[in-house]
A and B are shown apart, each in its own frame.
Chain A
């Protein structure tokens, strides 16, 4: 569940990042025709085949989620998010339109976020946070004022 109203408070990707730094024209890099020169973000290189990368990452995440119990809330919500994004990636071929539909910043940022979600899913398998509370706090621990 996204805090949609709050994300609207952030203007649609500020600064030059709204445009993907389109250069004078297409330039050939390693055989791929790259229309974009820069993401505008330091340290984040332009992804040459974002659809493929996202497809791989999302299918890996779904694979990791299969090992979590079906009734765990984390699995339910993450599957929902990942399936939604997966469908968008498969239906939309244009990168710019895909960015707008996903509403998660630039496509490279979406890839980074998918990588983070994958590492989180793998760690969740070890931590198992869907189990019941590990220990109740002492009765006066969270009382305020004292």
Chain B
């Protein structure tokens, strides 16, 4: 809906807006004021406006499936849609005269275990006619199948096999969904966040049985997890608002005794 789309755009605008520019300028108060942030990419207002306009256009045509539209600060348009709308949205983007995103550049997944629908499927499309890109994102969990994009873009075939192999996301109506990168008897989905870095099995050649055997992994040194967070605040612009203190009704009376 348009409200959701505008919400998303405002959020993006806020994200893309003036960061800690004031801090930089005070530091350079003594020097020349012409070039304040030479290492930061200059904002391309025209492209951002065009992408916003196109995002609103698509959101107006497909309100049934599009939940949010956002434009990142480096001018990338993203459509966030409901999983039922994969095939309609991709077909629209491929066939409509003002869209013509004929090329599927990439199909991946992102695992965020803390969410209810942990996997986020990402489709990157390229329009050769208009020289522009768009990203379409959906969500699913481990057990819910998602419609295969093979009927819309043939290129999705191996990408979906890879997502199935690495994350365990099942694609309905895929012509040939089987493993593509892992070993033949491999169990598990390696790119999930709960799959350990060294895996569960290791393989070695056993001379007695004259073949390769798989055994549980034995590490000579236990896994070292380094805490790489620096003690200083990294993103002052993205501070979470402090939680308001909640005082429960009964507690204070008991303390007063």
Interface residues of A (CB under 8 A from B): 1-3, 5-7, 9-10, 73-74, 77-78, 81, 104-105, 113, 116-117, 119-120, 123-124, 127-138, 140-142, 145-146
> Known: A1-B53, A146-B112. Is A130-B63 also a contact (CB below 8 A)?
yes
Which residues of the partner chain A approach B161 to less than 8 Å between Cβ atoms? none
Which residues of the partner chain B approach A141 to less than 8 Å between Cβ atoms? 115-117, 139
CB of A118 to closest CB in B, whole Å: 9
In the docked arrangement, what's the CA distance between A134 and B66, Å? Answer: 9
6 A-B pairs in the complex with CB atoms less than 8 angstroms apart: A2-B98, A120-B91, A123-B88, A127-B64, A137-B68, A140-B116
Within 8 A of A (CB), among B90-112: 91-92, 94-98, 100, 112
**B88: contacting residue among A113, A116, A129, CB under 8 A:** A129
Which residues of the partner chain A approach B154 to less than 8 Å between Cβ atoms? none
Does B57 sit at the interface, judged by CB under 8 A? Answer: yes
Which residues of the partner chain B approach A73 to less than 8 Å between Cβ atoms? 60-61
Interface residues of B (CB under 8 A from A): 1, 4, 46-47, 50, 53-54, 57, 60-68, 80, 82, 84-85, 88, 91-92, 94-98, 100, 112, 114-117, 128-132, 139, 238
- B117 lies within 8 A of A132 (CB): no
- A136 lies within 8 A of B61 (CB): no
CB of A39 to closest CB in B, whole Å: 16
In the docked arrangement, what's the CA distance between A36 and B230, Å? Answer: 68
Which residues of the partner chain A approach B50 to less than 8 Å between Cβ atoms? 3, 5-6
- B117 lies within 8 A of A134 (CB): no
- B91 lies within 8 A of A123 (CB): yes
CB of B31 to closest CB in A, whole Å: 34
- A5 lies within 8 A of B115 (CB): no
> Known: A123-B91, A141-B117. Is A7-B129 also a contact (CB below 8 A)?
yes
**A130: contacting residue among B64, B82, B98, CB under 8 A:** B64
- A133 lies within 8 A of B97 (CB): no
- B131 lies within 8 A of A133 (CB): no
Which residues of the partner chain B approach A74 to less than 8 Å between Cβ atoms? 61-62
Which residues of the partner chain A approach B112 to less than 8 Å between Cβ atoms? 146
In the docked arrangement, what's the CA distance between A78 and B115, Å? Answer: 38
In the docked arrangement, what's the CA distance between A113 and B128, Å? Answer: 13
> Known: A7-B129, A105-B129, A129-B92. Is A81-B97 also a contact (CB below 8 A)?
yes
**A120: contacting residue among B67, B92, B117, CB under 8 A:** B92
- A1 lies within 8 A of B98 (CB): yes
